[in-house]
Amino acid sequence: MDNPSKKRGHPVTRRAFLRGLGGGAAGAALVTRIRGREAGQAGISLPPALTHKSIVFELNRKRVTVEVEPRETLLEVLREKLKLTGTKKTCDRGECGGCTVLVDGQAVYSCLFPAIRADGKEVTTIEGLAEGENLHPVQQAFIEKDGYQCGYCTPGFIMSTVALLNRNPNPSPEEIKSGLSGNLCRCGNYVKISEAVAAASQKMRKA
């Protein structure tokens, strides 16, 4: 054994695990082999495993077509392929909410959402809220109420707020807390964020 340190190995990372699961080319090839063998025994033939797929979806009111791999998250496709970096990659494991976007009006963590599932859906990111020069009322309220400090978590908070106010136009302070409980702000600006949400709710009900 020429490399004993290697044998003890590295812990399996989430990324490596996902890749092995059938995301990447190697994983996909492996899956094909296993499925092929089973299929051979059963006497049926299966199509080759998917390595790439062209998906079409509505992004910020524009139709986009993009080639994705099954392992890619919506977050990665938005940031790296479509160059929309307003959606933040922070924890990349569904804890912080920095990557929140709307899929068919519902707030989702784009870091946990396979890009391939966006096919045919309507996706809204922070870049798609304003209409030209006119900010969305939630965006206005976050500026007016100073609902951010460093601003890094803000796109996620704003997207969660939009989803919250769409399903509950007049949330109580408790409902605001629970509605935004999937988003973290490390500056600890929660008080001002809640004020911004309440102000936005008022603005939108008046409008």
Partner 1 sequence: MRNHEYRENGNLDYLKTAKGKEPQGKETTLQAQPDFKLIGRPTQRVDGRLVVTGQAQYTHDIQFEDMLIGKILRSPYAAAEIINLDLSPAQSLPGVKAVLKLNDGRLKYEGEQIAAVAASD
Which residues are at the interface with partner 1 (CB under 8 A)? 2-6, 10-11, 80, 83-89, 125-127, 129-130, 135, 139-140, 142-144, 146, 148, 151-152, 154-155, 158
CA 205, CA 207: separation in Å to the nearest integer? 6
CA 147, CA 145: separation in Å to the nearest integer? 5
Cβ closest to partner 1, residue 104 vs residue 144:
144
- Please name which of 131, 152, 142 lies closest in space to residue 85, comparing C-alpha atoms: 152
Residues in the chain: 207
Cβ closest to partner 1, residue 158 vs residue 176:
158
CB of 104 to partner 1, least distance (A): 20
β-pairing verdict for 53-59 and 122-124? parallel
Q: Using alpha carbons, list the distances in angstroms from residue 178 to 34, 49, 181, 198.
A: 44, 41, 5, 13
Cβ closest to partner 1, residue 18 vs residue 36:
18
Cβ closest to partner 1, residue 10 vs residue 63:
10
CB of 67 to partner 1, least distance (A): 14
Cβ closest to partner 1, residue 133 vs residue 174:
133
CB of 7 to partner 1, least distance (A): 11
Residue type at position 196: A
CB of 118 to partner 1, least distance (A): 18
CB of 72 to partner 1, least distance (A): 12
Q: Is there a contact between 60 and 147 (Cβ–Cβ < 8 Å)?
A: no
3-state DSSP helix/strand/coil percent for the chain, to nearest 5? 45, 15, 40
